[in-house]
Structure 1
Amino acid sequence: MKLHHFRDLLAVAETGSLRSAARHLGLAQPVITRSIQELERELGVALFDRHAKGVTLTEKGMMFVRRVEAFQADLQRARDEIAQSKEELVGEISVVFSPVICMTVMPRILTAFSKRYPQVVLRISEGLFQTVEAQLENGVIDFWVGPLELSVSHPRFSVEQLFDTSRTVVGRTGHPLREAKNLAELKDCGWVRPALSKRTTETDFTPIFEDAGLPQPKFLVHSGSPLITILAVASTDLLTMLPVHTFRFSSLSKLIQKFDNIEPFYSAPICNVKRHGLQLTPAAEHLCDLIRKAAHNFILEEGSGQSVFDTQSDR
C-alpha cells in the first residue's frame, strides 16, 4: 500500500467517478483504475460500487476512507510542523467556527495571523459541533470553536473553555415590541428558528419558553444559516434569539436590535475543541493563541466597557 493509492482513493471518493478523478489528478484513467484495483485486492474487499453514472463508496469503503483521511491529515500536519520548525512559514490549517465566532472572533484574528504566517492557507468552514464531530475525531479538522454544552461529557476531545455568553431576544431595528419586558408579552409573535442539529441545545430556545410556563413559540421560518436568520428578522416583525456577542459585529445594529428590557438567557460557553492527543503545528497553535487573546479581550471589554487587549499585535 503506497501513498499514491491513498491519493487516488480520495480523488475517486470525492469526484464520484474514475474518469473525473483521473482528470482531477492529471492522470490517465487506466492508472486510477489499476490503483483502486490494487487497493481492493490487498484489502480483500470492494471499496466502490460501480454503476453507469460513476461509483459510490461501499460501507467498507467509507470505513477505509475515514481512516485514510485521518492519516493524510496527520501526514500533512507532520510535514507542516517540520517546515515551520525550519522557519519555513508554509502549510495549511483546517478549522471550523460556529456562526457567532465567524462574526465576532474571526475578524479580529485574521490580520494578525496573516502577518505572522503569510503563506499558510487557512481553510475556514462554518458549523456547529454536531456537524463536525466525526471530522474532529479523526483529525481532518485541526480544531473547532463555538458554543459547547459542558454538562454533556466529551471524552474523546480536549475542551478549552474560552468565555461565557448568553442569548438575547432580537427583532428588526424599530420593532413595535422592542420595549417588551418579558417573553409573555411576545407570546403571540412569530419566530425564526436558527439552524438546528441533533443536539438542539446548541441553537434551539424552545426550553426557555417551557421554563417560563409559556406555550411553544410559533416558528414561521426555520433558518439554515445565520444570514437567513438575520435577513428574515430584519425584513419582518418576526423575532429570534441570538448570542449577545453577535452584536460585536457593529453593522448589525442597522438591521436588527436586542430587546434590552428582557434579561438575556443562558447559552453554552464558547469553547475550543480538538481531538485528545492531537499535536497542532506551530501555525495552528499561534492561531489558537490569537483566539485566546480575542476571548480574553471580550472578557475585559465586558468589565470595562472598552477594548483593552490588542489582538492585532503579534506578541
Structure 2
Amino acid sequence: MKLSQIRDILAVAEHGSLRAAARQLDVAQPAITRSIRELEDELGATLFERHARGVRLTDMGKAFVRRATTVEAELRRAREEIAQLRGRHRGEVSVALSSAPSVTLLPTAFAAFRRHYPDVVLKLSENFFPAIQADLASGRLDFYVGPVEAPMAQPQFAMDPLYENTRVGLARKGHPLIARRSLAELVDAQWVRVTMSAGGNDSAFEAMFAMHGLAAPQVALHARSNLLALLAVANSDLLAIVPQPWLALPTMAGLFDPIVLDAPLPASPIFLVRRHDMPLTPVAEHFSDLIRRAALNHGRHGV
C-alpha cells in the first residue's frame, strides 16, 4: 500500500468523482483509476461503485476511508511536528469552538498566537461536540473547546474543564415579556433554538424547561447559525436562550435586552477536549495553552 494510493482514495471519496479528484491533485485521471484498482486488488475488495454522477464508496470503502483519514491526518502532523521542532513554525491548527468560548477565550488567545506564529494557519469552526466528535477522533481536528454532555462517557478523549458556563434569556429591545422572571412566566412565548445538528433534535433546550416541571417550549425556529438566531430575535417577538458572554459583545446592547430570571439556567461546563492517544503538534499545544490561560483569566475576573 502506497501513500499516494491513500491520497487518491481520499480525494475521490471527498469529491465523488475521478475527474474532480484528478483535477484537485493535478494528476491524470487514468493514473488515479489505476491507483485505485491496484489498491482494490491488494485489499481484495471494491472500494467504489459507479453511479450516474460519479462514484460512491461501498461499505468496505467507507471502512477504509475512516482509517485512511486518520493515517493522512497523522502523517501531515508528523511532517509539521518535525518542521516545528527544527524551528520552522509553519503548518496549521484546526480547532472547533462553541459560541461561548469564542467570545470569552478566543480573542485573547488568537491575538497572542498570531504574535508568536504569524505563519501558522488557524482553521476555526463553530460547532458543538456531538457534531465534531468523529472529526476529532479521526484527527481532522486538533481539539475542541465548548460544552460536553456526560463527559465521563467519552474515554477516548482527554477532557480538561475550563470554566463554569451560564445562560440567559434574550429578547429584542422593547419586548413585551422583558420583565418576566421565570421560565413558567414564559410558557406562552415562542422560541428560537440554536442547534448544530441537521435534524435540530438536541435535547438540552427542552431539558431546561423539564427541570422546572414545564412542558416543552414552543420552538418556532431552528437556527444552525448563531447569527441567524440573533437576526431572528432582533426582528421578531421570538426569544432565545444564549450563553451569558454574548451580552458582552459591543453590538448586543443596542439591539437586545436580557431576560433576567430568578433561577439560573443550567449549562454544561466548558471543556478543552483532545484525543488521549496522540499528542498535539508543538504549535497546536501552544494554542491550547493560550486557551487555558485565557480561561484562568476569565475565571479570576468572572467575565
TM-score class, shorter: over 0.9
SS of structure 2 residue aligned to 1:144: strand
- 1:239 Cα deviation (Å)? 0.8
Structure 1 partner of 2:47 = 47
- The percentage of counterpart residues that share the same residue type is 45
CA contact (8 A) 1:46 1:60 kept: yes
Cα deviation, residue 221, structure 1: 1.1
Q: Secondary structure at the match of 2:253?
A: helix
Distance apart, 1:199 and its partner CA: 11
Amino acid of the structure 2 residue aligned with 1:273: V
1:210 — aligned with what?
210
Q: Which residue of 2 aligns with 1:74?
A: 74
Offset at residue 200 of structure 1 (A): 8.7
Between 170-179 and 13-22, the greater mean CA deviation after superposition: 170-179
Residues 184-204 of structure 1: CA distance to partner in whole angstroms, max 9, x if unpaired?
A: 221111111221549999773
What is the alpha-carbon distance in structure 1 between the residues aligned to residue 193 and residue 207 of structure 2? 13
- 8 Å CA contact 1:183–1:262 kept in 2: the answer is no
Counterpart in 2 of 1:149?
149
Equivalent position of 2:191 in the other structure:
191
SS in structure 2 opposite 1:206? helix
SS of match in other structure, 1:266: coil
Whole-Å separation in 1 of the counterparts to 2:183 and 2:137: 39
Tell me the secondary structure at the aligned position of residue 250 of structure 1.
coil
Which residues of structure 1 form unaligned runs of 5+? 306-315
Q: Distance in 1 between matches of 2:80 and 2:151?
A: 35
Cα drift, residue 100 of structure 1: 2.4
User: Over residues 29-64 of structure 1, what are the superposed CA-to-partner deviations in whole Å (9 max), with x where a residue is unaligned?
Assistant: 111111111111111101101123110111111111
TM-score of the superposed pair, with normalisation by structure 1: 0.90
Q: Secondary structure at the match of 2:153?
A: coil
The DSSP-based 3-state class of the residue aligned with 2:164 is strand
Q: Write the distance in 2 (CA, Å) between the matches of 1:200 and 1:149.
A: 16
Count of matched residue pairs: 303
Distance in 2, Cα, partners of 1:203 & 1:104: 25
Q: CA deviation at 1:279?
A: 0.6
1:101-250 equivalent positions in 2, closer than 5 A: 101-150=101-150, 152-195=152-195, 197=197, 204-250=204-250
The answer to which of 271-280 and 183-192 deviates more is: 183-192
> Secondary structure of the residue that 1:254 maps to in structure 2?
coil
Q: Say if 2:261 is the partner of 1:297.
A: no
Q: Kindly state the Cα deviation for residue 102 of structure 1 after the two structures are TM-superposed.
A: 2.7
Checking the alignment, whether the CA contact within 8 Å between 1:5 and 1:35 is kept in structure 2 is yes
Stretch of structure 1 that moved more, 170-179 or 37-46? 170-179
- The unaligned stretches of length 5 or more in structure 2 are none
CA distance in 2, matches of 1:175, 1:250: 20
Q: How does 1:84-103 map to 2 (within 5 A)?
A: 84-103=84-103
| Residues 58-88 of structure 1: per-residue CA shift (max 9 Å, x gap) | 1111111111110111111111111111111
CA separation in 1, counterparts of 2:176 and 2:26? 60
Give the conservation status (yes or no) of the 8 Å contact 2:46–2:60: yes
Question: In terms of mean alpha carbon deviation, does 24-33 or 216-225 score higher?
Answer: 216-225
Letter in 2 for 1:129: F
> 2:15 & 2:200 partners in 1: Cα distance?
32
Residue 7 of structure 1 and its aligned partner are, at CA, apart by: 1.1
Deviations 1:123-162 (A, max 9, x none): 1122111111111112221111110124652111100000
1:308 corresponding residue in structure 2: none
Cα–Cα, structure 1 residues 136 and 115, in superposed 2: closer, same or farther, change >3 Å? same
The CA distance in 2 between the partners of 1:201 and 1:24, in whole Å, is 36
Q: Distance in 2 between matches of 1:76 and 1:172?
A: 47
